[in-house]
Amino acid sequence: MVSTLSFATALGRIHLAWTAAGICGLRFMEGTLEHEARDAPAWVLEAIRGLMAHLAGQPQDLSRIPLDLSDLTPFQLKVAEILRSTKAGQTISYGEVALLAGRPGAARAVGQAVKANPILILVPCHRVVAAHGPGGWSAFGSLARKQRLLELERSGP
């Protein structure tokens, strides 16, 4: 069963989804749809507090938040593992991710896996950049938001 709620952060409204196993969805959203968090388990409320503080400029270690990646394909899962192992504030190119995933030359496939990432920030696809510059910002709504996430990480917990 998937439960959801939305909440406001310093970088915009977030829609969050979770299962008993962990967070399975995190997206920036437009509009004012809001679901009450009163039925959310304590670990979800703690994750929300951490995300809100992080996005307000108080960097947090978000790596301990449990994730449910069971809907990812094996390749998407490999890409997610590489992104999660990339140091906070660092960037990596699509080609470098492809190489680390054992698929040299598959930068476009990495791009598709990153585009399909259901868990923004926690599976840090904002760390992936094009060989010629930042790129790949559509999931974040703006390049400025992607750049702000990197700045927040660079300031460290």
What residues are labeled active site?
Answer: 125
Joined together, the tokens standing for residue 133 give 């510059």
β-bridge pairing 23-29 and 92-93:
unpaired
- Spatial neighbors of 52 by CB under 8 A, at least 6 apart, are 7, 9, 10
- Rounded CA separation 132/129 (Å): 8
Q: How far apart are alpha carbons 58 and 96 in whole angstroms?
A: 29
123/82 Cα distance (integer angstroms): 9
The two structure tokens encoding residue 89: 């504030």
3-9 vs 23-29, strand pairing mode: unpaired
| Tokens read off for 155 | 């300031």
